[in-house]
Structure 1
């Protein structure tokens, strides 16, 4: 259920994901910096295919990432039930731990995906996923595949904790007021995604700059550089397409996830 939901969600939101990464990491040289202008530039130079650049690596990552995340979440939620923490804290802790574990498992693919997403058709450094792995390893060593992983985990734990906790909380409320089915999933998924993404976006931006940078900067050095160049606003570059992405991505994920669980006779709590 988790893997299917993750793959479909990422594919639907792939164009907006690439826009977010480009805006987070400085964009394309000579192209507009706003989301609309950048989209037009990509369509003019690379066509529709350009909006999907990096999606293959993202889909390849989603199968183990989403699958392990949701399996871990369900198991952790069951283990924590009855501990006296309360349903919402149990779900938030389960979501945070599941997200952090999945990030560590699949981080090299996410790093390669980011590198491929910032490429342009006239400057293709990496010709394929396998070529990217080989070239990065040859030029930067194996440790490069985990550059920014600590920041990613630091971002993912609160992100998933807030997302899972908010989703389950909103869903419980919807059940109480008699709103069920797809409408409830859309509302709960969208609201949970907006809250968690906005709260954790600065850490995601720092992580993307660590992934795509050629140097060996620390998270604090990247943070100082962003603040020096753009102030506090710099930590929210790319937030607009990321927020817009939430509706198609998060809602697709949760709708498919819930339907798959029902199909496979899991209990939707």
Structure 2
């Protein structure tokens, strides 16, 4: 009995160690990924919500316009709020994925399909816990130099809370975010884990490199990590993008009188967007830039997470 208890205690300590290191790795991964694509994130928000200074511009002309109008630092406007949000977001998302994956594995056995549900649940958990900071990041990024409404993170939180309806206002746009997170996070984790498994199982000589004894001495090489992450991001974004457009419009609805109508709810926002601008210029407006930002963002996120876990002594090879 004593031996059994000791073994169980060791397993518990190991699990806690895994979760702590996964939390750290996830936070680092989120910050690296978001900083990499911060300029594309900003122009995406400006285009999605039809900012009057940039709505007639494309991706690259828009980026050039930001630099001309607001200097090089304008490309990173709102990124401070993003970093405050993204470390806990990335940390919670990745550690939640590990926790949910283990729970589902213990109850239903090993299955790649279960990683979709673990990823979806992890994404929802992270979103709910950090959502007000996402609203703040969007508001700050939407501002243009000379037309500032908010002076910083605390001021934005305070103004929204006091003038737009308290905590409910800080969670405006949560419904499309949660709905979009199901396919987005679920497919991101599922596709990445599936591609990783296939690479290590079928073409280890091409995609693997020596590292982990727990996986036969092979883990994904850096280029393979980036490729698998990029493909996962492309698939996930294609499916969930209209809900992302609705989320941004709802978050920014109180910034201008002509957009107040987008604050009435998810269905209303989606219907109005479709009626006024159609599919390509409405529900999928900014999709080109989204591919340009989402593919490298997810690639960097998963790659940084895997590399950081390896540096912290956690195995990231193929699972049995």
CA contact (8 A) 2:33 2:300 kept: yes
Q: Are residue 135 (structure 1) and residue 176 (structure 2) matched?
A: no
Q: Encode CA deviations 1:140-190: one digit per residue, 9 max, x unaligned.
A: 121110011111111112111101000011111111212121011011000
SS at match of 1:229: helix
Give the 5 Å matches for 1:20-31: 20-29=44-53
Q: 1:168 matched to which residue of 2?
A: 193
Q: 2:130 matched to which residue of 1?
A: 106
Q: Are residue 219 (structure 1) and residue 243 (structure 2) matched?
A: no
Greater relative contact order: 1 or 2 (C-alpha under 8 angstroms, separation 6 or more)? 1
Structure with larger Rg: 2
CA contact (8 A) 2:47 2:55 kept: no
Taking structure 1 as reference, are residues 43 and 83 closer, same or farther at Cα in structure 2, changes over 3 Å only? Answer: same
CA contact (8 A) 1:14 1:52 kept: yes
Q: 1:58 matched to which residue of 2?
A: 82
- CA shift at 1:23, angstroms? 1.1
- CA shift at 1:267, angstroms? 2.6
Distance in 1 of aligned mates of 2:287 and 2:52: 17
Distance in 2 of aligned mates of 1:131 and 1:111: 13
Q: 1:177 matched to which residue of 2?
A: 203
Distance in 2 of aligned mates of 1:190 and 1:202: 20
Q: 1:42 matched to which residue of 2?
A: 66
Distance in 2 of aligned mates of 1:79 and 1:267: 19
- CA shift at 1:87, angstroms? 2.1
Taking structure 1 as reference, are residues 183 and 94 closer, same or farther at Cα in structure 2, changes over 3 Å only? Answer: same
Return the TM-score normalized by structure 1. Answer: 0.96
Q: Are residue 148 (structure 1) and residue 173 (structure 2) matched?
A: yes
**Which runs of 5 or more residues in structure 2 are unaligned?**
1-24, 209-220, 255-259
Distance in 2 of aligned mates of 1:92 and 1:195: 13
- CA shift at 1:30, angstroms? 6.2
Distance in 2 of aligned mates of 1:239 and 1:18: 14
Q: Are residue 195 (structure 1) and residue 235 (structure 2) matched?
A: yes
Task: Count residues with an aligned counterpart.
Answer: 269
- CA shift at 1:196, angstroms? 0.1
Q: Encode CA deviations 1:235-259: one digit per residue, 9 max, x unaligned.
A: 1111111111134312211111001
Return the TM-score normalized by structure 2. Answer: 0.81
**Which runs of 5 or more residues in structure 1 are unaligned?**
none
Structure 1 window deviating more from structure 2 (11-20 vs 22-31): it is: 22-31
CA contact (8 A) 1:32 1:41 kept: no
Distance in 1 of aligned mates of 2:123 and 2:76: 24
- CA shift at 1:86, angstroms? 4.7
Q: 1:205 matched to which residue of 2?
A: 245
Q: Are residue 68 (structure 1) and residue 92 (structure 2) matched?
A: yes
